[in-house]
Amino acid sequence: MKRIILFFAAVVITTTALAQGFSVGLRAGSTLQLVGQYQYNRTNYVEGRIGVSWLSIGGSNSDISLLHNWCICSMDWSPKAGEWFFDAGIGANVNGHRGLTCFGVMGLARLGLKFKKVPLSLSLDYSPTFGPEIYRYEYYLSDGTPQMARTAGFRYFGLYNGGFTLTYNF
């Protein structure tokens, strides 16, 4: 029994020590995404997102993003509540479903609050995506013969990507 308790204590201590700098959470707005962040030094962190987006033709689409972010500044506007921060970043985004594929460069501007009493952060961000949108669709001729067609254009809905992010900080 002592060995089992020691084993679980060692696992908890090891995972806690290794999890420093990580954050996990949820982003909601024009997308609904799971968010993972890793802060590898005081001013830089990497962020990955995966989820569902409503920013393209054809309804909901799968959405994957990877961003590199910089902590631009920290503000002490409300010292009892926590520390305010402003971050900016750049990355890549892939979005698609059935016949639709979108990919491109993604930016980030984020204003948030890292609470003092609890290990949570709440932020408002704007993450525009610039890139092509390729749509493949099927249509039928008057004799019933199926035909495939493709159309491409600029993904203008990607410019409306805003949301709230709540993360738990390890």
The predicted-structure confidence for 15-67, as pLDDT tens digits, reads as follows 544 557 899 999 998 889 999 999 988 889 999 999 888 766 656 778 889 99
Q: Report pLDDT digits (tens) over 88-135.
A: 999 999 888 777 788 889 999 999 999 988 999 999 999 998 888 887
- Phi/psi at 118 (5° precision): -130, 150
To the question of pTM greater than 0.75 for the whole model, the response is yes
Average pLDDT over residues 152-164: 85
User: Which one of 2.50.20, 2.40.160, 2.60.40, 2.60.60 gives the CATH number of domain 23-169?
Assistant: 2.40.160
Q: Which residues contact 80 (CB under 8 A, 6 or more apart)?
A: 116
Between 7 and 116, the more confident residue is: 116
Distances from the Cα of 26 to the Cαs of 77, 151, 155, 165, 167, in angstroms?
25, 33, 24, 6, 6
State the pLDDT confidence band at 12, using cuts at 50, 70 and 90.
very low
